[in-house]
């Protein structure tokens, strides 16, 4: 009996240890577009009537303006510089807690991309799936950069997020696109 209990404890320890190691070696937060596109195809064949009735209560315009934009802003608020009467100061996270908030913002946005693929929201156009996968991949890179406290990579991911969002807007909501796109890709990286 005692050997069986010890064996069970050993097996459970090995299983728990293996669970923790997967994130270390196969971390998806550096994922590329191809990986993200294949991860996001899970909802392609689910009919809208299979979802709970209130799942699509918000219009796409509301989802983008109140959910996706809000989530993107929670990444961008930690990036760049402000110059005022006190001089120039960095907006980048300075404490472990702030870096954790920046990481959480990236992970939140990555997870929110899933709602753009729900039946009734998903656009029947392959460019839609690519645009969603692009935003997800960039959000995961932002989260990984924040986890590593890598200011330059975090700033770069913020610019890439702006480009990914704007590219989607130009294709699917041109009325909401900025007058001049691509400006974020020309922004200078932060000084070290």
Helices 126-147, 151-172: crossing angle, 10 deg rounding: 160
Domain with 4, as residue range(s), is 1-29
Write the pLDDT tens digit of every residue in 121-143.
888 899 999 999 999 999 999 99
Number of structural domains the chain divides into: 2
- The CA-CA-CA angle for residues 178, 180, 185, to 5°, reads 100
pLDDT recorded at residue 23 = 41
**Is the pLDDT reported for residue 87 higher than 50?**
yes
Which tokens is 114 given? 């899933």
Is 192 among the domain residues? no
Check whether residue 40 and residue 3 sit in a common domain.
no
* 174: confidence class by pLDDT, cuts 50, 70, 90: confident
Check whether residue 152 and residue 77 sit in a common domain.
yes
- The CA-CA-CA angle for residues 72, 73, 75, to 5°, reads 70
Lowest-pLDDT range of 25-34, 80-89, 106-115, 139-148: 25-34
Residue 63 main-chain phi, psi, to 5 deg: -60, -45
Check whether residue 15 and residue 99 sit in a common domain.
no
Write the pLDDT tens digit of every residue in 97-124.
999 999 999 999 999 999 998 888 888 8
Share of the chain above pLDDT 90, in %: 52
Is 146 among the domain residues? yes
**pTM score:** 0.70
């Amino acid at each position: 009996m005692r050997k069986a209990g010890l064996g069970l404890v050993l097996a459970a320890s090995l299983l728990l240890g293996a669970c923790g190691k997967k994130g270390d070696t196969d971390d998806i937060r550096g994922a590329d577009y191809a990986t993200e596109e294949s991860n996001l195809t899970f909802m392609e064949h689910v009919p809208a009537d299979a979802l709970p009735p209130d799942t699509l209560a918000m219009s796409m315009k509301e989802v983008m303006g109140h959910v996706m934009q809000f989530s993107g802003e929670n990444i961008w608020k930690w990036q760049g510089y402000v110059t005022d009467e006190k001089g120039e100061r960095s907006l980048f996270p300075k404490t472990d807690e702030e870096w954790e908030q920046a990481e959480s913002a990236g992970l939140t946005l990555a997870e929110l991309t899933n709602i753009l693929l729900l039946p009734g929201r998903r656009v029947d156009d392959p460019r839609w799936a690519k645009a969603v996968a692009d935003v997800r991949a960039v959000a995961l890179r932002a989260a990984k950069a924040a986890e590593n406290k890598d200011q330059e990579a975090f700033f770069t991911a913020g610019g890439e997020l702006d480009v990914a969002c704007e590219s989607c807007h130009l294709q699917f909501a041109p009325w909401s696109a900025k007058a001049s796109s691509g400006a974020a890709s020309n922004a200078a990286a932060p000084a070290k």
